[in-house]
């Protein structure tokens, strides 16, 4: 038994320590493409805060890197193992400790699955809005680590806006409490927010106080078809400029529509170059749909289909939900990007991606949280075709450059991980990178927390 | 001429540099009680980013402390001068650079007055929600520095939630850009949020990208009178637990009501121990008022007065707006506290403050943003009475201790400054303070930025 495993056993039960290489190898990757991963020395699955502290103390004593993991549904390699590391899976710390309707907070362990929390708070008439696509698998700890978003963000904001306070195990095993349980608070620097999106490089979240919202009325959805991306982009601009606040505003481009048609036989017309889905969960959503439908028509929509009820709304959303599977079926492998641009430049971005696809001879579908300007260009490629694989990887750089050129950011909600480390430096510039490095050193002077990620 | 002034003149026009001690002394204080202040060596009023950079470069070269200031309406001494410092007033950098309705952002200089921004965006059908009481004087830069709130926060959140990106001049004069212009973004650690509420100790904000909301419908207000604070607290709990989202939910205690009655002759009944004001800016506010009125009655309200229109709503709110002046009239001087507790413990807090007032033989009125649990106990005292002054100061500590005991924070929205430095350390604990100090050193290795504040 290695010294590492022997020391870990002093504070963890044997069944919480995995060392079989076949098993530990299955913890090496999250869902990102093109991201290297090493082989973990060991995988630990603690059940208590004290066990996590023991893991960090052990790692500090032996100078062994620690890679925190949730459900590994991330798309930037942030949860990928590094060679010889301790993989620290928080999935077994999955208790919802408290739901408080008066103070509208939930207190949870990091391994709670997003959907489980959503269902639990719904029973109290409350909602935890952040809804990443992977919400049925992904954990709150992972959501906090990546600062994840979802469809609801256009109205309800991202994960960061729902994290009031954290318990964090620091690199040396100390337990830090940040933030508060109250609705407001400005006591000192905002360490809570610093941990959100830090991808496990500053500490390990073991408990979170989350803000909840009253459950909204059921949403009604409208679908609008457009003959050009420019028209769809114009509709998005008009909807937002007119002061509407949709609960979702999603866009699919022609490539995505075609893929969805092929897989689902939904029969969207071939002439449709862009499909816009707008949802409203206000008291009178039908009135909003009527107004937004008019704006879509004025922007050039070829067809506008407002749902009459929840069932019809779900049918319309089915097209959006089918996109990932549909795009995966095109070539077997996808690389899902995540670029956020000012929403006024959405059409330019879509046209730019289409040009990249043509130049690189690739199929790239774009789905976008259009209301936020947050796009997910999805590159479809055959990973066994070396040349196509290379072109796919090259298109990634093209897409990042395009996003920055349009005043956007290289990541709206998926995070940096290893995938976008170099591009992060380009977006931030050397002064910001230097400051961020120094902040990281404050929290992790030995460099054992998720090394090689983010910066 | 001192070396400091000579160097400053190399990058600032003479009219932007004030050295007359009678004049500079008038910049020594913000509006906090019991906070020491030194005499500034010089006050500078730059008009451009380059001038600010020159000031910081000069201060770094000579190791002179710099105290950034907005309108000095703060209540924690964060903007108080330190002996021999450069007071850096940002009030002349007051341009609104951009208002963009499609992307719902404004780009502003730090000296823009909150009310001026609100009016400017209203002309585009938009709103900048954060509304501190001092909104007609206070600046956006000051709001960002203190992380300020206001009445609207219960529905719309605090300043921090509206700051998307910043331009910050660092201690050595370098210009750092943080954040983004997009609705979402998770590129690297959240430096933007770290600067918000840092009270000028990490850098000087010279430009901000702010998120805007669509202007809401006009709000309708309801007033409810209660025979006990417990009943009013119960009403707040029931309103929030029932899933209502008021646009304001304000509470005044018996002492405040009495003071307001005396000053305004509004004639609130003597038996009223607590007055609750609830506002709604939804499409159908009358329906919300009816429902909330029922909840108030069920919680024991002795009278419920819903406004029929905007004019009546304003009349009801006049009582709330009169509180500060009314409480000031009690003894000539007030010390306005700022403690946020979980809203479920509001009644306990109010009773605790009443007990402190009795024990210390003081008049303490409490107004609260009840929907957030954010209270402002206001100690009324005669500053020429040395004994009363001492008792007032002692009550401050009692109130902080009470807030922490109830699971609250020592500052909901006014910040730490010098007033609450010691209490901050108590709330955070030594590990957090040590980390925050190290972060501060990353940004300000020479310790010239607003020394002695926050930590």
pLDDT digits (tens, 9 = 90+) for A87-133: 999 999 999 999 999 999 999 999 999 999 999 999 999 999 999 99
Q: What is the DSSP letter of A215?
A: P
Distance CA A206, CA A91 (A): 11
Phi and psi angles of residue B352, each rounded to the nearest 5 degrees, phi first: -65, -40
Inter-CA distances, A269 with A257, A265, A299, A315, B348, Å: 9, 11, 19, 16, 63
Q: What is the pLDDT of residue A266?
A: 83
* Residue found by looking up tokens 């439908």 in the block: A293
Q: What is the distance in angstroms between the Cα of B205 and the nearest Cα belonging to chain A? A: 15
| Partners of residue B342 in chain A, C-beta under 8 Å | 100, 102-103, 181-182
User: What Rg, from alpha-carbon coordinates, does chain A have?
Assistant: 22
* Residues of chain A with confidence (pLDDT) below 50: none
Distance CA A117, CA A101 (A): 14
With CA atoms as reference, the chain A residue closest to B215 would be A243
Query: Would you call B372 and A182 a contact, using CB atoms and an 8 Å cutoff?
Result: yes
Query: Would you call B436 and A189 a contact, using CB atoms and an 8 Å cutoff?
Result: yes
Tell me the mean pLDDT in the region B143-164. Answer: 96
Helix (H) / strand (E) element for A20: namely: none
With CA atoms as reference, the chain A residue closest to B424 would be A187
Q: What is the pLDDT of residue A345?
A: 95
| Partners of residue A416 in chain B, C-beta under 8 Å | 186-188
In order of their start, the domains of chain B are 3-89 (3.30.43.10), 96-214 (3.30.465.10), 220-405 (3.40.462.40)
Query: Would you call A184 and B439 a contact, using CB atoms and an 8 Å cutoff?
Result: no
* Residue found by looking up tokens 């024990």 in the block: B359
| Partners of residue B173 in chain A, C-beta under 8 Å | none
Q: Which of B194, B414, B424 sits opposite A194 (nearest CB)?
A: B194
Residue B161 has pLDDT above 90, yes or no: yes
Joined together, the tokens standing for residue A427 give 């977006």
Joined together, the tokens standing for residue A294 give 């008019």
Query: Would you call A431 and B341 a contact, using CB atoms and an 8 Å cutoff?
Result: no
Residue B271 has pLDDT above 90, yes or no: no
Residues 6 or more apart in contact with residue A267 via CB below 8 angstroms:
A261
Q: What is the pLDDT of residue A227?
A: 94
Q: What is the pLDDT of residue A127?
A: 98
With CA atoms as reference, the chain A residue closest to B151 would be A184
Parallel/antiparallel/unpaired status of strands A204-211 and A163-169: antiparallel
Q: What is the pLDDT of residue A301?
A: 97
Mean pLDDT, chain B, integer: 96
Q: Of residues B247 and A271, which shows the higher confidence score?
A: B247
Query: Would you call A102 and B344 a contact, using CB atoms and an 8 Å cutoff?
Result: yes
Per-residue H/E/C for B38-90: CCCCEEECCCCHHHHHHHHHHHHHHCCCEEEECCCCCCCCCCCCCCCCEEEEC
Q: Measured between alpha carbons, how far apart are the two ends of chain B, in Å?
A: 34
Q: Measured between alpha carbons, how far apart are the two ends of chain A, in Å?
A: 34
Residues 6 or more apart in contact with residue B365 via CB below 8 angstroms:
B252, B253, B255, B256, B259, B323, B327, B330, B377, B378, B380
| Partners of residue B203 in chain A, C-beta under 8 Å | none
Confidence of residue B162 (pLDDT cuts 50, 70, 90): very high
Task: Give the long-range contacts of residues A81-84, CB within 8 A, separation 24 or more.
Answer: A81/A27, A81/A28, A81/A29, A81/A37, A81/A38, A81/A39, A81/A40, A82/A37, A82/A38, A82/A450, A82/A451, A82/A452, A83/A38, A83/A39, A84/A38, A84/A39, A84/A40, A84/A41
Residue B209 has pLDDT above 80, yes or no: yes
Q: What is the number of H-type helices and E-type strands within chain A?
A: 16, 19
DSSP, collapsed to helix, strand or coil, labels residue B143 as: helix
pLDDT (tens digit, 9 = 90+) per residue, B356-375?
Answer: 999 999 999 999 999 999 99
Distance CA B407, CA B418 (A): 23
Q: Which of B191, B411, B432 sits opposite A186 (nearest CB)?
A: B411
Helix (H) / strand (E) element for B274: namely: strand B274-280
Q: What is the distance in angstroms between the Cα of A3 and the nearest Cα belonging to chain B? A: 30
User: What Rg, from alpha-carbon coordinates, does chain B have?
Assistant: 22
Distance CA A356, CA A396 (A): 10
Q: What is the pLDDT of residue B265?
A: 81
Q: What is the pLDDT of residue A105?
A: 98
Distance CA A126, CA B380 (A): 40
Query: Would you call A182 and B439 a contact, using CB atoms and an 8 Å cutoff?
Result: no
Query: Would you call A186 and B438 a contact, using CB atoms and an 8 Å cutoff?
Result: no
| Partners of residue B431 in chain A, C-beta under 8 Å | 170, 174, 176
Helix axes A421-428, A430-443, angle to 10 degrees: 120
């Amino acid at each position: 038994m290695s010294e590492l495993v022997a020391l870990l056993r002093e504070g963890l039960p044997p069944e919480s320590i995995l060392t079989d290489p076949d098993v530990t190898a299955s913890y090496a990757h999250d869902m990102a493409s093109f991201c290297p991963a090493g082989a973990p020395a060991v995988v630990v699955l603690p059940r208590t805060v004290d066990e996590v502290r023991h893991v960090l103390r052990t790692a500090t004593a032996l100078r062994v890197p620690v890679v925190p993991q949730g459900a590994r549904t991330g798309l930037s390699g942030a949860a990928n193992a590094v060679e010889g590391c301790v993989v620290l899976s928080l999935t077994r710390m999955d208790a919802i400790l408290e739901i408080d309707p008066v103070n509208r907070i939930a207190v949870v362990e990091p391994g709670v699955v997003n959907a489980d929390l959503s269902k639990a708070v719904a029973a109290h008439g409350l909602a935890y809005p952040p809804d990443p696509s992977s919400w049925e698998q992904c954990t709150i700890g992972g959501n906090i680590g990546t600062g994840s978003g979802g469809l609801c963000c256009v109205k309800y904001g991202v994960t960061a806006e729902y994290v009031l306070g954290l318990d964090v195990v620091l690199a040396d095993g100390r337990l830090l409490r940040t933030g508060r349980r109250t609705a407001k608070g400005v006591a000192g620097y905002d360490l809570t927010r610093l941990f959100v999106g830090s991808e496990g490089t500053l500490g390990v979240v073991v408990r979170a106080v989350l803000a909840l919202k009253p459950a909204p009325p059921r949403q009604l959805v409208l679908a609008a078809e457009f003959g050009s991306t420019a028209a769809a982009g114009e509709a998005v601009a008009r909807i937002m400029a007119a002061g509407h606040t949709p609960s979702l505003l999603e866009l699919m481009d022609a490539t995505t529509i075609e893929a969805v048609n092929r897989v689902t036989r939904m029969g969207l017309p071939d002439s449709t170059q862009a499909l816009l889905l707008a949802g409203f969960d206000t008291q009178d959503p039908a009135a909003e749909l009527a107004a937004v439908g008019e704006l879509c028509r004025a922007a050039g929509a070829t067809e506008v289909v407002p749902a009459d009820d929840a069932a019809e709304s779900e049918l319309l959303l089915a097209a959006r939900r089918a996109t990932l599977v549909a795009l995966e079926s095109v070539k077997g492998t996808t690389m899902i990007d995540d670029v956020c641009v000012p929403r006024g430049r959405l059409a330019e971005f879509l046209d730019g991606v289409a040009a990249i696809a043509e130049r690189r001879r690739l199929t790239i579908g774009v789905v976008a949280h259009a209301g936020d300007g947050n796009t997910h260009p999805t590159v479809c490629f055959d990973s066994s075709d070396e040349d196509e694989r290379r072109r796919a990887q090259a298109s990634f750089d093209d897409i990042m450059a395009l996003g920055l050129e349009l005043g956007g950011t290289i990541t709206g909600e998926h995070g940096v991980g290893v995938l976008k480390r170099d591009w992060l430096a380009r977006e931030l510039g050397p002064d910001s990178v230097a400051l961020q490095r120094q902040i990281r050193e404050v929290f992790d002077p030995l460099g054992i927390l998720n090394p090689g990620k983010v910066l």
